[in-house]
Amino acid sequence: MDPTVAITGATSGIGRAVAEAFVEAGAFVAVSGRDGDAVDRTVAELNGDGEGAAGEAWGERVDVRDEFDLERFFQRAAREGGPIDVVLANAAVFHGGPGESPTDEVSYADYDDTMRTNARGAFATIGEAVPHLADDARVIVPSGSVAHESKAGMGAYAVSKAAAEAVARGFAADLDATVGVVDPGLVATDLTGMERARDPESVAPLFVWAATEAPAEELNGERLGLREWKSATR
């Protein structure tokens, strides 16, 4: 049976690339994002007007800062595609941009919104998905080295990613589902603004592998990245 996959922050960057990879692999993919028009465009593009797509995309506007949005999203995604096999808690914000947000200059408003989106949003995403998870479901929280290494100008984003990783570890300890962190390294997205980093499409297979093939015991409560993926698939 083809998997049902739910992705937050799926209209651009890593989320969009992973959604496309799963649709091409035959999955039912529930995509979401804050911009409803962008969600509609993404669904239409992924489905390709019904031509050539092995799987199917469905979407809904969701703001991960609102747990009721997430509750409705997972209810409807499960109704449309069945129990959810994979959750990618991908939605995130970065106020100011990489290297340009010294921690001592971050406003309280930006700090609060970053934490509410990136950390609390991951908590709410996983929590609202739980009632709809399939047996042997996997939940993935994207992260990066900023979560555990000091880097100048990363501000509240680094703090939020460390918190999001802690959220993943907490759920991994308490759920039957496999919950882990995937670090794709530096990726060129609107969020990072890094033009010379990897394309999102180049790391999408890493996320598909982590969600479907990586040993559950190596993902659960742990962090997997490019090294583990390349070692396992070469």
Would residue 157 show up in a list of annotated catalytic residues for this protein? yes
Helix and strand numbers, DSSP H then E, in the chain? 9, 7
Cβ-contact 168, 180 below 8 angstroms: yes
Beta pairing partners, 30: 6, 58
Spot the catalytic one: 22, 74, 157, 207: 157
- Give the integer Cα–Cα distance in Å for 21 and 5: 11
What is the H or E stretch that residue 113 is in? helix 108-114
- Residue 50's φ and ψ, nearest 5 degrees, are 80, 5
- Give the integer Cα–Cα distance in Å for 113 and 163: 14
Q: Are strands 56-61 and 133-142 parallel, antiparallel or unpaired?
A: unpaired
What is the H or E stretch that residue 96 is in? none
Residue position matching structure tokens 């698939």: 233
Ordered strands of the 84-88 beta sheet: 56-61, 28-33, 4-7, 84-88, 133-142, 178-183, 223-225
Catalytic residues: 157
